[in-house]
């Protein structure tokens, strides 16, 4: 399967409603693939909080109506923040040749208190939500365990945040494209859930992203070398170890096998940094470095745009933004742009192989895709 068309709206605070953003990303991706809606055989829509936040469900029918391609099968996929990766995983395995996968989310019109609750719906209702475990609290506990186990520091977390903010300034579609962030800003930001500060958290964003998948290779096509998905228990209490996500490990093992590559063969990576600690855990689970080494790697600049293995060149969830349903698709849009050599000021040199890791909940679901040039 190939990624033949890509589209993405600006991430951030948007005045457009959910359906307009989804339509815009879809239209861009179709145009990029030199196709029209009439060429499609199926549509997959990735979305998480369309119900509670945007008061719009049944998005598969919304999309075919907008694109005026009624008649073809269409699906909505929800797997918390891994909705995007999961939608692509399913689309690849479908019997269809030409598929549109679009992810969209409208979150900024909802109050902070409501959003905290809605995002929390991805945790276990009884074991997590009832005990006040909002999402930053989950990752705060993970950060604390990582610190106690490996001696990871607040400076390590700040280095992730800073790198991603620096990258986002080269990405005109990023949520924080125009925000200058210093180490001082990060260190002085208020604590959200100890030890995590505001700048350890991804923002609440609106946005949409889309890819057109085709069985036949076309001019601009990027090859999907591997597509894997795995799950883990939903609640933190059901796990023995919080410093690693088994779902990421399982999915990436299968993906590396399928693509015939290892972490050291990768040129660029998009990882699910919903919180800074999540990027560190992802690096270790994906085999980029040994457990406990990730903080040092980031501080030494090895994952910066000009480093050994650039991670999240678009700014990641931290600074590109995290419109939940769109996130997993946007990661693939970024990788495809990088492998095509069209990433502008944030272009990674000689990028030929890239990996995207998309996580749902606190590691309950993980989707890993590996893309190759040509």
Partner 1 sequence: MTMWTCIPCKRFWHYPLKRCAYCGKDLAEESAKTLTVIGVTEVLVPSVEHPDVPYFVLLLEDEKGFRHLRKSMDPQKVGDVLDVKPATNAFARIGIIGTGAMASGIAMSCLKAGMPVIVKSRKQETLNRFQENIALKLKKNLSEEAVNETLTRLELTTDYAKLKNCDIVIENVIEKLDAKQDVFEALEKHCGPNTILATNTSSLLVSSLAPLVKKPERVIGLHFFNPVEKMRLAEVIAGENTSMETVRKTREIAEAMGKTAVQVKDAPGFIVNRVLFPFLNEAVLLLENETANAEDIDAAVKMGLNHPMGPLALIDLIGVDVFVEIMDNLKEETKEQKFEVASLARKMVKEGKLGRKTRQGFYAY
Residues of the shown chain interacting with partner 1 in the complex, contacts defined by CB under 8 A: 112-114, 116-117, 120, 126-134, 136-137, 140-141, 144-145, 148, 190-196, 235-239, 242
Sign of CA dihedral 286, 288, 292, 296: negative
Taking the least distance from each CB to partner 1, the nearer of 204 and 336 is: 204
The distance of closest approach from Cβ of residue 322 to partner 1 in the complex, given in angstroms and rounded to an integer, is 16
> Taking the complex as a whole, how short is the minimal distance between the CB of residue 275 and partner 1, in angstroms?
12
Whichever of 117 and 263 has its CB closer to partner 1, that residue is: 117
CA distances from 44 to 137, 141, 225, 325 (A): 32, 34, 20, 11
Closer by beta carbon to partner 1, 194 or else 262: 194
Name 12's bridge partners.
206
The CB-of-277 to partner 1 minimum distance in angstroms stands at: 12
Q: How many CA atoms within 13 Å lie on the side-chain side of 69?
A: 23
Environment class of residue 186 by beta-carbon count within 10 Å: exposed (0-12), middle (13-18) or buried (19+)? buried
DSSP state of 9: P
Shortest distance, position 148 Cβ to partner 1, whole Å: 7
Burial class (CB in 10 A: 0-12, 13-18, 19+), 299: middle
Cβ at position 199, least distance to partner 1 in Å: 14
Nearer to partner 1, 87 or 134 (CB): 134
CB of 142 to partner 1, least distance (A): 9
- For residue 234, the minimal CB distance to partner 1 (Å) is 10
Do residues 319 and 304 make contact, with C-beta atoms less than 8 angstroms apart? no
Q: Which residue has the tokens 């986002």?
A: 168
- Determine the Cα angle at 294 with ends 178 and 273, to 5°: 40
Cis peptide before 143 (omega within 30 of 0): no
Rank residues 116 and 246 by Cβ distance to partner 1 and give the closer one: 116
Helix runs in the chain, H state only? 18-32, 59-67, 83-92, 112-120, 135-150, 154-168, 183-188, 246-259, 276-285, 294-299, 316-319, 324-340
Buried b / exposed e over 118-129, threshold 16 CB at 10 Å, is: bbbebbbeeebb
Positions marked catalytic: 81, 322
Helix axes 18-32, 59-67, angle to 10 degrees: 50
Nearer to partner 1 among residue 95 and residue 132 (C-beta): 132
Q: Is 101 helix (H, G, I), strand (E, B) or coil?
A: strand
* Residues near 43 by beta carbon (within 8 Å), at least 6 away in sequence: 60, 63, 64, 67, 69, 72, 73, 74, 75, 99, 100, 101, 102
User: Nearer Cβ to partner 1, position 117 or 154?
Assistant: 117
Phi/psi at 359 (nearest 5 deg)?
A: -115, 140
């Amino acid at each position: 399967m190939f990624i033949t068309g890509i589209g993405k709206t600006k991430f951030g605070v948007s005045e457009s409603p959910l359906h307009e953003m989804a339509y815009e990303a879809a239209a861009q991706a179709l145009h990029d693939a030199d196709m029209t809606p009439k060429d499609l055989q199926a549509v997959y829509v990735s979305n998480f909080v369309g119900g509670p936040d945007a008061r719009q469900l049944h998005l598969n029918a919304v999309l075919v109506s907008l694109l005026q391609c009624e008649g073809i099968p269409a699906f909505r996929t929800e797997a918390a923040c891994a909705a995007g990766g999961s939608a692509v995983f399913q689309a690849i395995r479908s019997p269809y040749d030409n598929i549109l996968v679009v992810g969209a989310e409208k979150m900024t019109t909802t109050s902070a208190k409501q959003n905290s609750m809605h995002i929390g719906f991805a945790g276990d209702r009884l074991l997590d939500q009832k005990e006040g475990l909002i999402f930053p609290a989950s990752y705060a506990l993970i950060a604390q365990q990582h610190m106690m186990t490996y001696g990871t520091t607040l400076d390590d977390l700040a280095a992730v945040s800073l790198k991603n903010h620096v990258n986002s300034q080269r990405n005109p579609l990023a949520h924080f494209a125009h925000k200058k962030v210093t180490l001082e800003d990060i260190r002085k930001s208020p604590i959200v859930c100890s030890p995590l500060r505001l700048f350890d958290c991804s923002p609440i964003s609106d946005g949409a992203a889309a890819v057109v998948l085709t069985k036949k290779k076309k001019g601009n096509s990027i090859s999907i070398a591997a597509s894997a998905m795995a799950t883990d228990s939903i609640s933190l209490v059901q796990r023995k170890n919080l410093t690693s996500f088994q779902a990421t490990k399982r999915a990436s093992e299968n993906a590396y096998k399928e693509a015939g590559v290892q972490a050291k063969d990768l040129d660029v990576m998009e990882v699910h940094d919903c919180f800074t600690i999540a990027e560190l855990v992802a690096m270790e689970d994906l085999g980029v470095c040994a457990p406990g080494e990730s903080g040092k790697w980031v501080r030494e600049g090895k994952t910066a745009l000009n480093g050994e293995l650039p991670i999240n060149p678009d700014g990641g969830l931290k600074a590109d933004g995290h419109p939940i349903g769109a996130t997993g698709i946007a990661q693939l849009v970024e990788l495809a742009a990088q492998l095509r050599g069209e990433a502008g000021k944030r272009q990674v040199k000689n990028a030929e192989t890239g990996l995207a890791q998309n996580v749902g909940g606190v590691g309950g679901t993980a989707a890993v895709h590996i893309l190759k040039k040509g």
